[in-house]
């Protein structure tokens, strides 16, 4: 085990305050200590969402077209595992290190990524029992009334990339991700080796004949887990 999920998603957007209001409404909680530029939110598992202006020089330059997630920071379960992964990546690409020990690099398919030691916090959920034909789990009990959702974890992130097969091989061979599902001609669902999620990243075929695919590298969406339903943020 090494990578235990998404530690941070760093967005580049045209209007930081407007996107901040969106994530407030979405149910994220703002960090008590905000960055000098942009906004930051923390989820119960300890992961983060960081919002910066798309022209902020702190954002890593990349081939990604459009707004959205501009860098993914993967959590690693220990310093020795992080250093081992970094040594392997340094064999054929430039790495940069932050003072907090985060290492940054560009994946083969063009997405900026980082590795950071992440002591993921356990989260507790109590989803309501769900009935199905022939299987009654809840009888004579109302469902819990939920006025709004509060995301607890970051489940996955999705990018459209012209060479999604090469992207999959990079995630598999260099970061030890594992294939969960493959849609021929459309995408690869892969998960970090330290997670039980179906996938931690989905690499879509940017040339697939479906709406929204432009043939270019672009952010598609990120998915957040709540108590008994799933939310996506575009």
CATH at 166: 3.10.180.10
Is 164 domain-assigned? yes
What is the structure's pLDDT at 205?
A: 98
b (16+ CB within 10 A) / e for 81-95: bbeebeeebeeeeee
For residue 107, being part of any structural domain is answered with yes
Q: What is the pLDDT of residues 113-158, one digit of tens each?
A: 999 999 999 998 888 888 889 998 888 888 777 778 889 999 999 9
Residue with tokens 């910066």: 52
Asked if residue 182 is part of any domain, the answer here is yes
Q: Name the domain count of the chain.
A: 1
11 located within any domain: yes
66 in a structural domain: yes
- Please list, in sequence order, all residues whose beta carbon lies within 8 angstroms of the beta carbon of residue 164, skipping any fewer than 6 positions away: 109, 187, 188, 203, 204, 205, 206
Q: Is the pTM of this model over 0.85?
A: yes
Q: Is the pLDDT of residue 67 over 80?
A: yes
Determine the average pLDDT of the residues in 177-195: 96
pLDDT above 70 covers a percentage of the chain that reads 97
Q: Which residues pair with 135 in a beta bridge?
A: 132
Residue 179 has pLDDT above 90, yes or no: yes
Q: Is the confidence at residue 84, as pLDDT, over 70?
A: yes
Asked if the structure places residue 196 within a domain, the reply is yes
- CA dist 87 and 122 (Å) reads 29
Q: In the prediction, which pLDDT does 146 show?
A: 77
Average pLDDT over the chain, rounded to whole? 93
What is the structure's pLDDT at 232? 54
Question: Sorting pLDDT into bands at 50, 70 and 90, what band is 168?
Answer: very high
Strands 68-76 and 112-117: parallel
Q: DSSP string of 66-110?
A: SSEEEEEEEEES-HHHHHHHHHHHTTTS--EE-TTS-EEEE-TTS
Sign of CA dihedral 20, 12, 171, 92: negative
b/e 186-195 (16+ beta carbons within 10 angstroms → b): ebbbbbbebb
Q: What is the pLDDT of residue 185?
A: 94
Lowest mean pLDDT segment, chosen from 134-138, 160-164, 212-216: 134-138
Range of the domain at 156: 3-121+151-233
- Assess if residue 137 is contained within a domain: no
Q: 18-44 burial, b for 16+ CB within 10 Å, e for fewer?
A: ebbeebeebbbeeeeeeeeebbbbbbe
Cβ neighbours of residue 182 closer than 8 Å, sequence gap 6 or more:
188, 189
């Amino acid at each position: 085990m090494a990578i235990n999920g998404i530690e941070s998603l760093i967005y580049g957007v045209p209007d930081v305050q407007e996107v901040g209001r969106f994530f407030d409404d979405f149910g994220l909680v703002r960090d008590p200590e905000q960055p000098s530029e942009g906004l930051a939110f923390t989820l119960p598992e300890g992961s983060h969402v960081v919002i910066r202006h798309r022209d902020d020089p702190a954002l890593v330059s990349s081939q990604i077209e459009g707004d959205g997630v501009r860098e993914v920071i993967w959590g690693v379960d220990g310093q020795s595992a992080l250093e081992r992964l970094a040594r392997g990546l340094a064999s054929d690409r430039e790495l940069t290190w932050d003072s907090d020990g985060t290492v940054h690099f560009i994946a083969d398919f063009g997405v900026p990524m980082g590795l950071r030691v992440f002591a993921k916090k356990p989260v507790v959920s109590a989803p309501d029992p769900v009935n199905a034909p022939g299987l009654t789990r809840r009888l004579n009990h109302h469902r819990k009334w939920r006025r709004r959702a509060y995301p607890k974890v970051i489940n996955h992130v999705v990018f459209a990339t012209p060479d999604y097969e090469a992207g999959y091989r990079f995630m598999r061979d260099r970061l030890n991700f594992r294939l969960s599902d493959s849609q021929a001609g459309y995408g690869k669902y892969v998960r970090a080796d330290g997670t039980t999620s179906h996938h931690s990243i989905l690499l879509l075929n940017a040339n697939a004949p479906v709406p929204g695919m432009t043939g270019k590298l672009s952010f598609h969406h990120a998915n957040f887990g709540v108590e008994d339903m799933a939310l996506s943020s575009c």
